Amino acid sequence: MSHNLLKGKKGIIFGALDENSIAWKTALRCFEEGASLLLTNAPVAMRYGEINKLAELVNAPVIPCDVSSDEDVLNLMTKSMEHFGGGVDFILHSVGMSLNMRKGNHYTDIDYMLNSKTLDISSMSLHRVLAAAMKLDAINEWGSVVALSYIAAQRVFPDYSEMADAKALLESVCRSFGYHYGVKKHVRINSISQSPTKTTAGSGVKGFDGFISYAEKMSPLGNASADDCAKYCVSLFSDFTRMVTMQNLFHDGGFSFTGVTMSVIDQMSE
């Protein structure tokens, strides 16, 4: 059942690869809640993914965009202005890639050229999008931007490796740009720190299944699913949360403030 929470609102969704993606589910949920959408992803991800299927479902155009290219990002925001005949009301940034993890490099022995690309794609891409939007005035007054993050930005998960640093940088960009865009145009910018989620991208992380099951046991409500996250995104895009900005919001069934659970203690003492 739709609550028309986003009726009349326009938004851009980054990073919908396939139906397991948080971005995919968020697009569906935003559409259901009355939003008009524009989809984008990296040209290479579009080839492997099924974004065109999603585009049909939510009746949205797809604009390819390499987020590490100033030109591509500017082009995307320009096209968005043209398509919507003005600014958007929300943006979901669901983008991240660790090139050193992909190469199998251990955190203590990374290639710094690859690391620079990891940070550029996973973190500074948000800055690039926001800077282009500010230049073109492509986000409406009181618009809402959400970036997806992970608690590794605060605490170490050994296998999450260089993505942890990238997420810490991403969250800092949310705060820093959140200040400037807030003062200038009341645009609010937050990150959601989501439970580990079984997406096609996430599956690449070594030992991911073991970790999902640990997080499940360590969360009083269990892990938050991609569907739950889509709904939380909708609430943050809606007018019910207009004064929330520059925050990193844990959406994780309580994992972040749980020191230990009986369930973990029990399993460890078996």
Name every residue whose Cβ is closer than 8 Å to that of residue 237 and which is 6 or more positions away in sequence.
Answer: 5, 6, 9, 11, 30, 35, 89, 90, 144, 146
CB nearer a second copy, residue 56 or residue 243: 243
Whether the Cβ atoms of residue 33 and residue 4 lie closer than 8 Å to each other: yes
The Cα 150–Cα 201 span in angstroms is: 14
Q: Minimal distance in Å, beta carbon 138 to a second copy?
A: 13
Characterise 111 by phi-psi region: left (phi > 0), alpha (psi -120 to 50), beta (else): beta
CB nearer a second copy, residue 51 or residue 167: 167
CB nearer a second copy, residue 51 or residue 67: 67
Residue 220's Cβ-side half-sphere holds a number of Cα atoms within 13 Å equal to: 7
The Cα 127–Cα 57 span in angstroms is: 29
Q: Minimal distance in Å, beta carbon 52 to a second copy?
A: 28
Cα–Cα–Cα angle for 117, 21, 251, nearest 5°?
Answer: 90
Q: Minimal distance in Å, beta carbon 185 to a second copy?
A: 10
CB nearer a second copy, residue 49 or residue 247: 247
Residue-by-residue DSSP string for 192-240 = EEEPP---TTGGGSTTHHHHHHHHHHH-TT-PPPHHHHHHHHHHHHSGG
CB nearer a second copy, residue 81 or residue 264: 264
Q: Minimal distance in Å, beta carbon 265 to a second copy?
A: 6
Q: Minimal distance in Å, beta carbon 16 to a second copy?
A: 20
Residue 139's Cβ-side half-sphere holds a number of Cα atoms within 13 Å equal to: 26
Whether the Cβ atoms of residue 248 and residue 191 lie closer than 8 Å to each other: yes
Q: Minimal distance in Å, beta carbon 122 to a second copy?
A: 11
CB nearer a second copy, residue 10 or residue 188: 188
The Cα 72–Cα 120 span in angstroms is: 14
Q: State the amino acid at position 66 in one-letter form.
A: D
CB nearer a second copy, residue 12 or residue 252: 252
Q: Minimal distance in Å, beta carbon 9 to a second copy?
A: 13
